[in-house]
Structure 1
């Protein structure tokens, strides 16, 4: 009994590990039995004549059975392949994917103008280039394109002098016409009249004129009276 159970478990393990082994073996056995049977009936039919009313021979029926089973197996395989093909088509992209081109990277140190980065025109192997490193663009280095002894000698002053100047319009007279400025002057005048408790028209006009002059003086004092050139020369050392 124990030996029988061992054989059953062993065969079950083989079937679990190689499921196609028994199927292929059974199919081969069936084919072998069909072939042997057909050969035997052919030998018998050779010596015993077949009656006229008999139909197809047994070998022909067996061939038809094998053919039908093969066709059924092929249909199963075709259905599986068609299902895989339909599943693969779901992941296909209708539009063509554009080719990915490699981006050409720019070298780390390229040739630039002498005024901006003169160090880039030197070799990286040069010891002086390693010591200089990068250039501070706030410092003025006299370039070759600049001519003249004074320009080369007073490089910082020349840079300040050649800096762009912006001439802004004075807004002291135009800003007095703003509605908010007029409203502030009127409120200040009304407050002064209320504090002095004098309601004469002449006195009110006098306070209004004084407040307008005061506002104009405040705007004028807020303007910068320093020269642009002096301001550039004073502020330049703090930027270096």
Structure 2
């Protein structure tokens, strides 16, 4: 018995092409969703790091200014550069400007805890990315949540970051007029003013804290004590 095979009709081919088009569309949407969520997570991390960097540099700027005042007064800045209250206020202000809140801050140094020229901050932004649900109760575009529930269960990629800033004072020597000290010369330049001293001092981001938590000693504790965590 001879059976003739039926050639697919134009209608069958059209339906097959339609199914293929629908499948490709679904696949493209899935890929787009993946890239959107990955992109959002990367943006959260980038924004958080920017806020952390700004907060750390601002807090370290307090130590820089104290060092500059000493240099302008012909006094080498050997101790007590950091002011904990002013440093925290500066870090909070710059974190807030960048859409974040300050979670932690501490100063350290390599001078037995007497200098405070290195400041580490931790910040948190109001950004977080919620996990998708199997029952599709959360739309794929619902990727952000507010600060009040940024740490809720099911929220990931919260915008947290940390940064460390260091104040580096150049080598200085006394400028004498006879036996009298009249100024300091730092990095080959005679310090002429507070503003000039600021320009000679470097404030930069770094990768590590100092060996000692900043804890200024002496009877006149002008600076509030820092938090007493061990540097990470």
Question: Quick one: higher RCO (CA 8 Å, sep 6+), 1 or 2?
Answer: 2
Q: Radius of gyration: which is bigger?
A: 1
Higher helix fraction: Structure 1 or Structure 2? Answer: 1
Higher strand fraction: Structure 1 or Structure 2? Answer: 2
Which TM-score bucket, shorter chain as reference? under 0.3
